[in-house]
Amino acid sequence: MEVVIVPDAKAGGELIAEGIAALLRRKPDALLGVATGSTPLPIYDALTAKVRAGTVDVSRARVAQLDEYVGLPPGHPESYRSTVLRQVVEPLGLDAGAFMGPDGSAEDVQAACEAYDRALAEAGGVDLQILGIGTDGHIGFNEPCSSLASRTRIKTLTEQTRVDNARFFGGDIDQVPHHVITQGIGTILEARHLVLLATGEGKAEAVAQTVEGPVAALVPASALQLHPHATVVVDEAAASKLKLADYFRHTYANKPSWQGI
């Protein structure tokens, strides 16, 4: 696992966007796994700027959703499909056919989960998966004590996650669904490169447990320690509880230029 400490969220977004651009130069039809929420917005903003500047071509890129609320009507503005279309697909100028995600409004939710897992495999797998992290260490919607071998499935959200997400629903927690479809940890670990961005002091404890704690279902993000190519990008506030912060700064400062993100 590589840990990169950056000054702020904008710098983190720029760093990750450049890594995505480098991937697309090598593999123009790469499948990018995208996360929602406020944390990854600097990534999408920086990547959009590169597209508009003509420094990267995304015309053949594909986008895969990480998770989705269950029960929101199609087209609901806070569904993750709508969010990804609004924040990623449309700004990058991608065709709607380049986007894939689970069906949170399906009558048979379990079948929808299994279908999405198959679709990801049939698409050749995710080349780079962007991840955020919850204050309790969840990735995707794999809440604490999720199986580290789990596949795409339905999950019940914790009260803390619903509280955290109420800001997207006008502050009304009653509007936040109780259930979601999420790629499981086992599914996420199949991506070729995992990139987690965390910003703010509120994520510091979760980051410390993810990076320096034991691999444990209680901190789902700690499963990144098992991945052969995982990058954790954190701002100074999110890095504030890392015991090895100085070592991480040293290793990044002396990183060979050929290694890439």
Based on the residue annotation, tell me whether 246 is a catalytic residue of this protein.
Answer: no
Q: Which residues contact 247 (CB under 8 A, 6 or more apart)?
A: none
Q: Which of 103, 117, 136, 164 is catalytic?
A: 136
The pLDDT tens digits of the residues spanning 63-82 come to 999 999 999 987 899 999 99
The pLDDT tens digits of the residues spanning 104-151 come to 999 999 999 999 999 999 999 999 999 999 999 999 999 999 999 999
Whether residue 260 has pLDDT greater than 80:
no
Q: Which of 14, 103, 117, 138 is catalytic?
A: 138
Whether residue 209 has pLDDT greater than 80:
yes
Q: Is 198 helix (H, G, I), strand (E, B) or coil?
A: strand
Helix (H) or strand (E) holding 80: helix 80-84
Based on the residue annotation, tell me whether 143 is a catalytic residue of this protein.
Answer: yes
Look up residue 159 and give its two tokens.
Answer: 């009260």
User: What are the φ/ψ torsions at residue 75 (nearest 5 degrees)?
Assistant: 85, 0
Based on the residue annotation, tell me whether 136 is a catalytic residue of this protein.
Answer: yes
Whether residue 37 has pLDDT greater than 90:
no
CB burial string 106-144: b at 16+ within 10 A, e below: beebeebbeebbeebeeeeebbbbbbbbbebbbbbbbbb
DSSP per-residue codes, 29-50: T-EEEE--SSTTHHHHHHHHHH
Q: Is 236 helix (H, G, I), strand (E, B) or coil?
A: coil
Task: Tell me how far apart the alpha carbons of residues 211 and 27 are, in angstroms, rounded to a whole number.
Answer: 29
Q: Which of 68, 117, 127, 143 is catalytic?
A: 143
